[in-house]
Amino acid sequence: MRDSDDRPSTEPYSRLAVIGAGSWGCALASVLARSGRDVMLWARRPDLADAFNMTGQNPDYLPEIGMPLGIRATAVLGEALAGAEAVIIATPSKTLRDICGAMAPHIPAGIPVALACKGIERGTGYLLSEVVAEALPGHPVGAVSGPTFARETALDHPTAATVAFPFSYADRLAPNASPAARLAMSLSGGAFRPYVSDDLVGVEVGGAVKNVIAIACGIMTGAGFAENTRAALITRGIDEMKALAEALGGRRETVTGLAGAGDLTLTCSSTTSRNMSLGNQLGEGTPRADCFGGKPVVVEGEVNAVSVHDLARRIGVPMPICETVNAVLNEGADIETSFSALWKRPIEGEPRTLDLFLDHPEPTATLGFGARL
């Protein structure tokens, strides 16, 4: 093992653009600023950018938290991207292709682009990195992902996340100069601790699927079930993540890390997560239109339930939890009937190498939701 003094140094990016001034975009901008970086924060609305510049706070997202110095907001994409050495995109996944198209005239070739949004594009079945690669050719594309609630990150609570980029031959010869290492160093300030991965597929799959599993956990929690149920869904949800990641060329072990098991555990543990919160309200019997007090809240797991389900079906990967959530959200399926059917599926061997498939003795039994509501 080399002594730390002998390791090649890693140069952080000096100037970065964060595209998206929601909670997570603001949290990442605050991490970068605490690390000494010069940060431009793009907000879709000019009034939000103006308010941020005047008060140092985002009145719509994390309004009670003062942002550190070193962040300037703008509603002009060209201004946000001018001089940026790296870009982080933190917009909702469903707007990603449009955002990249708008960025294209303003971002020089070769500038690394890291995704801080999670999901799979509906219709194409593309991972979000594939969307960026198609809409913004000529850029290294990666992701920042992990168990990270925005408010806690903005408050500088100890937090860990994964920075993932595919490693080129040159990156493997000089990993300390890779985009992944440089972005990780750029985020290394205060209590934010990044780890580096070269398995972008595994990291992206973990981030996309965990939101759908969290809705399932929320539904069962809202229906009155407790820790046994949630632990079962988390564990089997990780198995679904592993299967999809492997089928797409990722590594199963990546899903056991921060961007998979870590993020899933956090998202399934608190109604601070919009995904868990939506599921909880549905499980309590609240109609979808009345969830979140009737406000139009974007829930990434709801957006991605269809795309995850469609992609899994297309490539032949069984994902019964995700299928159940999609059926409830998008096909009008009854919650009790659907989750009872999930629990009464044929009995399988847990290791995939064990070829075992047994009919369940009570295929039509229900879980007794009514007695718990």
Per residue in 23-80, pLDDT tens? Answer: 999 999 999 999 999 999 999 999 999 999 999 999 998 988 999 989 999 999 999 9
CA distances 295 to 44, 59, 244, 298, Å, are 19, 17, 33, 9
Closest CA relative to residue 27, chosen from 14, 38, 18: 18
Count CB-CB contacts under 10 A for residue 287. Answer: 9
Q: Are 264 and 234 in contact (CB under 8 A)?
A: yes
Q: Identity (one letter) of the amino acid at 314?
A: R
Q: Indicate the SS3 state at residue 144.
A: strand
Query: 26 CB contacts (<8 Å, ≥6 apart)?
Result: 41, 58, 61, 62, 67, 150, 154
What is the C-alpha to C-alpha distance for residues 163 and 366, in angstroms, rounded to an integer?
43
Task: List all residues 6 or more positions away from 68 whose beta carbon is below 8 Å from its beta carbon.
Answer: 30, 33, 34
For the domain made up of 209-372, give the CATH fold.
N-(1-d-carboxylethyl)-l-norvaline Dehydrogenase; domain 2 (1.10.1040)
Q: How far is CA 56 from CA 48, 51, 148, 357, 358, in A?
A: 11, 8, 22, 58, 60
Q: Is the pLDDT of residue 4 over 60?
A: no
Tokens coding 222? 């809202």
Q: When comparing pLDDT for 325 and 349, which is higher?
A: 325
Query: For residue 241, is pLDDT > 60?
Result: yes
Residue 119 DSSP class: -
Nearest to 206 by CA among 149, 280, 166, 265: 265
When pLDDT is cut at 50, 70 and 90, the band that residue 2 belongs to is very low
Mean pLDDT for the chain? 93
The confidence band for 312, taking pLDDT boundaries of 50, 70 and 90, is very high
C-alpha–C-alpha distance, residues 88 and 117, integer Å: 9
pLDDT band for 360, please (50, 70, 90 cuts).
confident
Q: Where are the alpha helices (DSSP H) in 122-262?
A: 128-135, 150-154, 169-173, 179-186, 200-222, 227-247
| Active site residues per annotation | 210
What pLDDT, on the 0 to 100 scale, is given for residue 193?
97
Taking the CA atoms of the chain, what radius of gyration do you get in angstroms? 21
pLDDT digits (tens, 9 = 90+) for 120-137: 999 999 999 999 999 999
Task: Return the structure tokens found at 117.
Answer: 């949004």
For domain 12-198, say whether CATH 3.40.50.720 is its number.
yes
User: Residue 240 in contact with residue 303, Cβ under 8 Å?
Assistant: no
* Burial class of residue 261 (count of CB atoms within 10 Å of its CB; 0-12, 13-18, 19+): buried
Q: What percent of the chain has pLDDT over 90?
A: 83
**Most confident segment among 135-144, 339-348, 353-362:** 135-144
Statement: residue 3 has pLDDT above 50? no
Whether 298 shows a pLDDT value over 90: the answer reads no
For residue 76, give both structure tokens: 């002009």
What per-residue confidence (pLDDT) applies to 358?
Answer: 77
Hey, what are 60's tokens?
């719509």
How many CA atoms lie less than 13 Å away from 10 in the CB half-sphere?
A: 20
pLDDT band at 1; cut points 50, 70, 90: very low
Cα separation, 36 vs 209, whole angstroms: 33
pLDDT value for 155 = 95
Domain ranges of the chain: 12-198, 209-372
Among the residue ranges 92-101, 192-201, 355-364, the one predicted with the least confidence is 355-364
